[in-house]
Chain A
Amino acid sequence: QLQLQESGSGLVRPSQTLSLTCGVSGGSISSGGYSWIWIRQPPGKGLEGIGHIYQNGDAYYTPSLKSRVTISVDRSKNNFYLKLRSVTAADTAVYYCARMTTHYIDNWGQGTLVTVSS
């Protein structure tokens, strides 16, 4: 059974870079037909897509975050990654990694809370 697990710093200073890792187990990140996605949810608010990446490394980002985001993949480690630069308090959220197939998300990680504060 596929499992995804987010890890990384839970506290980031303003203007710094948020870095998260998503570890994939129970399946290969190189499997065809899937992309790997980051989503966030500010406390008490709705879901927001950040971007996704295919196993060949092609990445696509939500326009509002595109200038600050990089998503990458390491097939040898079965991981994919999120970097969000120049963070502010508005970036405080639960960050989810997930697997996407044919435009819908069929497996989610448990999420990790990242707080931006000095």
Chain B
Amino acid sequence: SYDLTQPPSVSVSPGQTASIACSGDKLGDKFVCWYQQKPGQSPVLVIYQDTERPSGIPERFSGSNSGNTATLTISGTQAMDEADFYCQAWDSGTVVFGGGTKLTVL
């Protein structure tokens, strides 16, 4: 089976840039998307097809994907961005999620 690895936690100060990595074998050959999940809520798509932002998602969210690593970057992080973030790819006809990263804004 295909595995996606994320750091369990990332901390960032308000106004700074947060980067969350997602690694997998030849991940750059696949499309990656990212979801934000706040406590008690369903996940929300924030990045799809590596770099695309759905309508309504702030411009401070951006993504990249190359080699074995995809990265979600949040520029000018705000307190409201504190949440769990999951990367997701597609492998052998099924979806695969990373283990999730808890972003703390402090």
Contact = CB atoms under 8 A, between A and B. Distances in A.
Contact of A106 (B45, B94, B99): B45
A77 interface: no
Contact of B49 (A37, A62, A63, A104): A104
Interface stretch (B9-17, B21-29, B67-75, B85-93): B85-93
Interface string A84-118: 00000000000010001011111011110000000
Interface residues of A, number: 24
A74 interface: no
Nearest to B86: A47
Interface in A31-48: 37, 39, 46-48
Contacts of B94: 49, 51-52, 60-63
Nearest to B42: A108
A100 B11 CA distance: 31
B80 interface: no
Contacts of A67: none
B31 A64 contact: no
B95 interface: yes
Interface string B39-69: 0001111001100001000000000000000
Contacts of A103: 31, 33, 89-90, 95
5 contacts: A49-B94, A60-B94, A103-B95, A105-B95, A108-B43
Interface of B: 1, 31, 33, 35, 42-45, 48-49, 54, 86, 88-90, 93-100
